[in-house]
Structure 1
Amino acid sequence: MRPLIVLLFALPALACAEPRAGLWEFTSQMQHGGQAMPDMQQMLGQLQNLPPEQRQMMEGMLAQQGIKLGGSGVQLCLSAERLKAGDIPLQNEDSGCSHEITERSAEVWKFHFKCPNGEGKGETRFQGDTAFTTTVNGVYDGQPSSMHSQAKWLGEDCGGLPSR
């Protein structure tokens, strides 16, 4: 489900009409095949339990993609230039996923996505320029899948995380 997760964390960042540049944190609850998937806190706990060299390697791989696991979720640094241009990577380029925005307003964006192993639709709702929620439903690997995520703006300082 990795390509789907990358798509779903990044897609809502583009949605807000006037999002703030800087560090954003995404948390989520996912289900696949009727079973709850580990949430961000559980994944962070598993990362902390890795041997130091493995944890450092994993954190380095994520950082190269502009992603940091910290706080209570996944953190991304979004640059003002990319936000203004609407040029935000919506999924890992190697994932084979695509998306289409089907409806767009200042309060709600609706979208459809398709990946090699699944497809679905979702909706993002905005609470101003510093928070939004996204709900996604679809089928992945032949199983029903859903995700509900929250995003919040943490501030302008990205703490050394490269901008996306």
Structure 2
Amino acid sequence: MRISVLKGLSLALCLLPALAGAQAIQPGLWEISSSAMQVDGQALPDMQQMLEQLKNLPPEQRQMMEQMMAKQGVQLGDQGVRICMSEAQIEAQDIPLQDPKSGCSHEITERSAELWKFRFSCPDGQGEGETRFLSDKEFTTQVQGTYGGQSGSMNSHARWIAADCGGLQPR
């Protein structure tokens, strides 16, 4: 069970290519939850299930996982993972939610005030998706692609938490 949790969390973080920021979204702390994650047609646990399983890890394993995520600018939240988006990133419309060292690139293929369509390419995968901006404090993203030779898809929901990111640094 732990392997599927880690694999699901890794897939979720890798398939969050560039949920690029619209000009109108708020800088600060954002929480992203994912759902409907599938790999090769098999459903993975949703984010809430993964978070519950992570809470049940032995303390030293959980701490190791949290430290690994913190190095990537991500922390566990109540309903998903949290990231910090700086005002400079939002103004530049450059919101890289994947690990900057991942070698992934993205291209916006269609852009309007409410919808951005994109495609992405990583050393181990590629795909496409779309982000819908519901307000300056909420957006949803749907992604499908291949990663590590496996096809996958997921939906995510991002919501603004606070202007202050606390100790979490922007990616």
Q: Same fold (TM over 0.5)?
A: yes
The superposition leaves residues 114-162 of structure 1 with CA deviations (integer Å, 9 ceiling, x where unpaired) of 2233221101111111111111122334443211111111121223222
After superposition, the CA RMSD in angstroms is 2.1
Cα deviation, residue 108, structure 1: 0.5
**Native 8 Å contact 2:23 2:93 kept in 1:** no
Aligned partner of 1:23 in structure 2 is 29
The answer on whether the counterparts of 2:133 and 2:140 sit within 8 Å (CA) in structure 1 is yes
Match of 1:98 among 105, 112, 123: 105
CA distance in 2, matches of 1:10, 1:154: 21
Q: 1:71 aligns with which of 72, 75, 78?
A: 78
Q: TM-score, normalised by structure 2?
A: 0.84
Any stretches of 5+ residues in structure 1 without a counterpart?
none
Change in CA separation of 1:74 and 1:90 when aligned onto 2, cut-off 3 Å: closer
Counterpart Cα distance in 2 of 1:67 and 1:76: 5
| Separation in 1, partners of 2:10, 2:98 | 7
Q: Any residues of structure 2 matched to 1:3-42 within 5 Å, and which?
A: 5-9=12-16, 11-12=18-19, 14-29=20-35, 30-42=37-49
Corresponding pairs, count: 163
Partners of 1:47 and 1:55 within 8 A in 2:
yes
User: Partners of 2:120 and 2:170 in 1: how far apart?
Assistant: 24
Shift of 1:77: 1.1
Distance in 1 (alpha carbons) for counterparts of 2:12 and 2:39 = 12
Q: For the residues of structure 2 that align with 1:24 and 1:93, how far apart are their CA atoms?
A: 18
Distance 1:115 1:3, change over 3 A: farther
Structure 2 unmatched runs, 5+: 1-6
> % of aligned pairs identical?
58
Contact 1:68 1:76 survives alignment (8 Å): yes
